[in-house]
Every structure is written in C-alpha cells, then in structure tokens.
Amino acid sequence: MTWIRLNGASGSGKTTIVRNLSFKLNGLPRYLTENDKKILKKFETHYSFLLNQFCGCRAVYIQSSFDPNKFFTIKSLLSKKIALVTSIDKYKSNLSQGESQRFILLEALELQPDLLILDESLSGLPEDHELSVLQAIKDLYENLNLLYISHRNNSEIERLFSESIDL
C-alpha cells in the first residue's frame, strides 16, 4: 500500500498531473493541450515518480469540481476500466457538498480500485472530518493505494502518507 499526498496551491498543475496519470494508467488516449505539455514537462520528475509507483494499477479518479446541489454517482466504464463521476437522481439534490463527496467516495471504493485518486475530493469537509475519513479509509482498505491531492497543510493528515510531494 502506497499513500502519496500531492500538495500545491490552486493553479499549480496538480489536477493536470493526476488527470493525465489516471488516463495513462487506464490505457486511455488523452489529448494534451500546450498548457498540459508545459506542466508535465515542468514536473516531469514528479510525474515519472508517480507513474513508476502506480504502474499496473487500475485507477479511479474523483475530482472535486461538481455542483453540490446535484447528486453524483460513479459509473464504471468497464470496457475502458475507468470510473467517471456523473450527475443523476435529481430528487436527491438535498445533499450538502460534504455528504455528496462522502457518497461518491463510498461508491468509488465499491469498485475496488488498485489506486484511488482523490483530487481535492474531501475539500468540502472540515479538516477534522477530512482526517477522520482518510483514517477510516486507511483502516478499512489495507491494500488500497491512494494519491491524495490537496492545497491544505495539516500535519495530522500529512502523517497518514508515506510520501508527500510539494509543487
């Protein structure tokens, strides 16, 4: 089990790195914009390190950018071995952003991925809840690899990870 935390300010390239990593690990083609190419070149060492760490893993990628007024679920595209977040069930729109994020996380874990990539997916939670959720994942899913993207600095959360990369 490898747990790596990728930390950096908004706009530093964290999402570009992990989105491309997810596509690469799942064998999916990805069109790279000129900006993507610049970011991947700038952080080539970090990107290569992550590819080597998680080589052969089937990844599930969850990004934080969703409308908290909608309900989301994970749909597995079995032929391409990747999970995508899609909005459904409008009647469940009463969930808060934090509740939606926790529900998405539970559905992602049901897919039993080799690697779970959380791209600021717990950012809607207070830091103490974020820590509790991460600790529960670590306790319950012993063989799960995790790549956790965050812009928060919290020493208690940092202790959960075997590696930390600052951009």
Least confident of 4-18, 88-102, 144-158: 88-102
From the list 42, 57, 51, the residue with the least C-alpha distance to 8 is 42
pLDDT at 104 > cutoff 70: yes
Q: How confident is the model at residue 27 (pLDDT cuts 50, 70, 90)?
A: confident
Please report, as a single letter, which amino acid is at residue 151.
H
Q: How confident is the model at residue 4 (pLDDT cuts 50, 70, 90)?
A: very high
Q: How confident is the model at residue 64 (pLDDT cuts 50, 70, 90)?
A: low
Determine the average pLDDT of the residues in 20-28: 87
Name the CATH code of domain 3-166 (choices 3.40.50.720, 3.90.1200.10, 3.30.70.2170, 3.40.50.300). Answer: 3.40.50.300
pLDDT at 81 > cutoff 50: no
pLDDT at 75 > cutoff 50: no
pLDDT on residue 95: 65
pLDDT at 128 > cutoff 90: no
Question: Which pTM was predicted?
Answer: 0.79
CA 10 to chain centre: 15
Q: How confident is the model at residue 43 (pLDDT cuts 50, 70, 90)?
A: very high
User: Residue 123 carries which DSSP code?
Assistant: T
Rounded distance, CA 8 to CA 130, Å?
Answer: 17
* Phi, psi angles (nearest 5°) of residue 53: -65, -40
Please report, as a single letter, which amino acid is at residue 158.
E
Question: Who contacts 114 (Cβ-Cβ below 8 Å, separation ≥6)?
Answer: 54, 56, 57, 58, 59, 144, 145
pLDDT on residue 28: 82
Rounded distance, CA 152 to CA 48, Å?
Answer: 24
pLDDT on residue 93: 61
Rounded distance, CA 20 to CA 32, Å?
Answer: 9
CA-angle at 5, arms to 115 and 30, nearest 5°: 55
Rounded distance, CA 133 to CA 93, Å?
Answer: 22
pLDDT on residue 132: 87
Of 109 and 162, the structure prediction assigns the larger pLDDT to 162
Residue 39, classified by CB atoms within 10 Å of its CB into exposed (0-12), middle (13-18) or buried (19+), is buried
| Domain definitions of the chain by residue range | 3-166
